A and B are shown apart, each in its own frame.
Chain A
Amino acid sequence: MTLTLDAPRIVETRPLLEVHGVSKSYGPVQAVRNVSAHAYPGEVLGIVGESGSGKSTLLRMMNLEEIPETGSYTLDLPDVSGNLFELDRFARRMLCATKIGIVYQNPHLGLLMKHSSSGNVAERLLVAGERSFATLRQAATEALDASEFPLDRLDAPPIELSGGMQQRVQLAKAIALEPALLLLDEPTTGLDVSVQALVLDTLKRLQQDRQITMVIVSHDLGVIRTLADRVMVMRRGEVVETGLADQIFQDPQHPYTQQLVHAKL
């Protein structure tokens, strides 16, 4: 029996997300200065940095909530092309609703506090055009179940829920439409350590099950270490160091990263 082998070739994976040379300032404050980043499909990119380093601004730009002065942003997805910063409001909204999910640090930003939890998840599908009650109900239940939300609290409004539960609702809402990109802005900050561990477990399991590309922003190196494959360290609006997570944590090169890692350990 002869074995036929494919001709050797170089495997070329293109990054799913590519941000190139973005700068943004708020009046005299330069929040982000000429930052580039990319994430491959299924990869988790962690962004660390102190408060005010521009990491959250960068994430908001990836969610198209803010448009930088310069720079480009591309997502390598079918029927998405060109610099996404140049999209009009309408196209931007549809793209954000269907392709990008986001979890904010503050659940008040991402959730309608007085509506039911399942309604919050269903809203995503409604924006995308789903109009069948049974489908909405089913999809909301599935998404909440996937983010390990107790289903007996399905219709409780988030304002009555604990912080960890609110984050799970946000997560369910973010993954309800199976987005290609999941953005997490300090998802566990403000939760106590045990709840934080549970939420991180959920995130890790979701990432393994669905192979979603994630960008996670945190000042907490523990969170980044648990989740991220690759890490970007930011300071004063600039990237000071990038590398694989292990590399950054074991062998930090830049003095600021060294300081950060030692402060943690």
Chain B
Amino acid sequence: MSLTALTKPWEAMSYGFLDGSAKRELRRKMLKSVAVPGCQMPYASREVPMARGWGTGGLQVSLTLVNPQTRVKVIDQGADDSVNAASIRRFIARVAGTPTTKDALDADLIQSRHRIPEEILREDQVLVLQVPNPEPLRPVQPNMSIARQMHADADYGRMWLQLYEQIVRSGRVMQGASYPSLVHGRHVMTPSPIPRWDVPKLHMAKHLTILSAGREKRIFAVPPFTRVEPLVFSDVPYKVEEHGALTCTRSGTTGFFMNEIPRDDGSSAFEVSDSEWGVKTIRARDGNGESRGETWYKDGEMPQ
């Protein structure tokens, strides 16, 4: 037997860009993080041809999960067509040969930065969120060794101190994004910088959410049907952004998370943040029979 018979033919790179051992490690860490919901698992974040902080954590998870049949959707701040989303989508398609889509219902794997789609995700879908700072305790405990002990002890009193301070200073909770949330009644996690609007979507969701921070080398997950409860005082209820009554100037849809567009006269216009939802609404309005899925928010309210 010759040596060539034992080796694989030469390839420019392995499937999905990451080598086998990197993907194996990530799979193991994903399983671990699913087993302990909300608990941060360290992993050896590999180099990808993208700067740290641009979604390298999410990209590594996506590259590990894809196969040639996986339909991939990439979102950046709700939009599919921003530079970052387009580049990541093209990169995954190029190294893994996957079909891509912009439709949240059609996708098998959704990598997202800062938003969760407005349409309800299914059991067979995976949401990958890019996380810049995975440690919810960092603002209250700069020492990471002690923060780890605090996680182990479920010593989260100081998280409420942060909220207390915000209410005292500003009269309300000012935490706009990355709202700290208790997962499965045990670990407090930061749900990546998604707006408060999106946090209730994670609660008892049917899909699997994997959150990965490439620079900080931490991965954590919200498995399907897991409780995700934003931290609140018993007498100060959790509030989402007051976007329920706003109407999108382009598509005319009402009751979803909006982007504010300042106008020259000082007023502002609003545009639906989930761009594909806006596109679908316009198509439906024009009678192109596009199928729109069930949304989490109905009439601007999250049903309990």
Contact = CB atoms under 8 A, between A and B. Distances in A.
Contacts of A133: 164, 167, 233-236
A90 B153 CA distance: 6
Given A89-B149, A89-B153, A132 B165 contact: no
A74 interface: no
A109 to B, nearest CB: 14
Interface string A116-129: 10110011001111
A214 B149 CA distance: 30
Majority SS of interface residues in chain A?
Answer: helix
Contact of A116 (B157, B160, B169): B169
Interface residues of A, number: 20
B168 A93 contact: no
A196 B149 CA distance: 38
B164 A122 contact: yes
B31 interface: no
Given A132-B235, A155-B169, A123 B149 contact: no
Interface in B69-116: none
Nearest to B167: A133
A262 interface: no
B158 interface: yes
B164 A93 contact: no
Interface of B is mostly: helix
Interface in A132-188: 132-134, 136, 155
Nearest to B236: A133
B232 to A, nearest CB: 8
A123 B155 CA distance: 12
A126 B161 contact: yes
Contacts of A115: 161, 165
A134 B235 CA distance: 7
Interface string B203-235: 000000000000000000000000000000111
A132 B169 contact: no
Given A89-B153, A90-B153, A126-B158, A116 B168 contact: yes
A129 B233 CA distance: 11
Interface in B160-205: 160-161, 164-165, 167-169
Interface of B: 149, 153, 155, 157-158, 160-161, 164-165, 167-169, 233-236
Q: Nearest 5 pairs between A and B by C-beta?
A: A126-B157, A127-B157, A133-B233, A132-B234, A131-B234
